[in-house]
Structure 1
């Protein structure tokens, strides 16, 4: 069943308009629209979380339609009620098979707290973001329009997900622009996936890892409290503690990889 009824009330009207505009631009070449990320995992925090959306289209969609879509969805023309909109458009033939590539036709970031960005070249992007998003989508994507997720998106292979997790942990350890609590809770979610093969909400992942890893419990609990606040109000976490924790997370990902370590996955 497609629709916005399963979304938090703060974003329903926005999601309905987003789908309406996407259908108007893409017409019969639109296959599906899914809510992914925190919306799919039941951990959306209004004022903190982004709205993550996956759009799947027939590859025959003209390039000019992609640029038109970016224009009609850009904030503030379509005012985003969340921290931002992260919307990725994929061709159906690419996401219908397992892949470790970025593989998108368009990647749009827009909104009050996100730097405006649109890309039409998947080769310029780090693939891990997209592999992880598709893995979450396959497990939990909420259909807003069109065919159900399991008919549209193939699950990335385990080797590809582990490769993506390594890159994600490295980015959260070394990259700029990440809030400290998000670095820690994303690390927790990576550990839970390595243990279970399932994606869970960040705060739930924090609870699981804090329960089993006493030495990191104070840091994780601080991250969970910080995650309740808007991004602009989030307190800084101790840099050395975050770095140590993420080094530990990287070790857990490498352990999970086992014989897959160094494999290229399904490509």
Structure 2
């Protein structure tokens, strides 16, 4: 773990424990930190807190005040923190189910959401169950028992439905016309690679590792038939994560649609 992130997470856990006391069951690094893929200057810090019981409105607001970037500067692009009740974390539900969500950082718009039902559908409600599935496999325990014993995985049917929702959401995002370079398309393509590897092999990998897995092991044929030309696209997306130019929008969308079609067929 990057030293700055380690120190930051230690302080974050101390502040959460000061506020929640014995009600804090555990704290877990997720996302790129949990997947050992943290990239300074690009990655976020993702954290899941688990509480024994429902948090009061005052406690939720106190967590936000204590952990927002202005109070505890995040060394990464930003902090994405979600708190769950222990019961929700263990349920394997496909619903958001969170107590409070905080997005904050030097390069991240501030957002605090105090109830799962307040999460706008247009912003995607699939993130949380997918994150808990990743935590089940790869959560890094900062405090408390191992993540695999705290977070249940979602069912295979719910997983495929959530991935269909996620890929549909990414495809609906606006982008430049034609095959002009599309900033951010590398994340969409490599996220699709990660979804495909999870469905085919049952494992969560980082975005870059998932792209490399498809290149090295699976090949790039979808269930509906062969698809040519995507090796260069994935290589370009991996390079874009290191500062190279983004891929073209048309090729990125074609690849995402191919992954979406395969996962839809798997769901049937």
- State whether TM-score is above 0.5: yes
CA distance in 2 between partners of 1:69 and 1:247 (Å) = 39
- 1:19 lines up with 2:29 in the alignment: no
Residue of structure 1 in register with 2:35 after alignment: 41
Task: Identify the range of structure 1 (202-211 vs 36-45) with the bigger mean alpha-carbon deviation.
Answer: 202-211
Please show how residues 53-64 of structure 1 align to structure 2 within 5 Å.
53-64=47-58
Give the C-alpha shift of residue 10 in structure 1: 2.9
CA distance in 1 between partners of 2:207 and 2:167 (Å) = 14
Residue of structure 2 in register with 1:226 after alignment: 240
**Pick aligned residue for 1:240 from 203, 226, 250:** 250
> If the length of structure 1 is used for normalisation, what is the TM-score?
0.89
**Pick aligned residue for 1:101 from 52, 75, 95:** 95
Q: Could you report, residue by residue, the CA deviation over 1:197-245 in whole angstroms, capped at 9, with x for unpaired residues? A: 110111111112234125211111110001113xxxx633211111111
Residue of structure 2 in register with 1:111 after alignment: 105
Give the C-alpha shift of residue 176 in structure 1: 5.2
Residue of structure 1 in register with 2:202 after alignment: 197
**Pick aligned residue for 2:144 from 139, 143, 146:** 146
Residue of structure 1 in register with 2:72 after alignment: 78
CA distance in 2 between partners of 1:181 and 1:124 (Å) = 29
Number of aligned residue pairs: give it.
Answer: 248
- Structure with greater contact order relative to length (CA < 8 Å, sep ≥ 6): 1
**Pick aligned residue for 2:229 from 207, 210, 215:** 215
- Whether contact under 8 Å (1:210, 1:216) holds in the other structure is no
CA distance in 2 between partners of 1:154 and 1:127 (Å) = 18
Q: Residues 188, 60 of structure 1: CA spacing in aligned structure 2 closer, same or farther, 3 A cutoff?
A: closer
Unaligned runs of 5+ in 2: 176-182, 221-227
Unaligned runs of 5+ in 1: 1-6, 259-267
**Pick aligned residue for 2:168 from 167, 170, 191:** 170
Give SS of 1:248's match.
helix
Find runs of 4+ consecutive structure 1 residues off by over 3 angstroms. none
CA distance in 2 between partners of 1:251 and 1:83 (Å) = 33
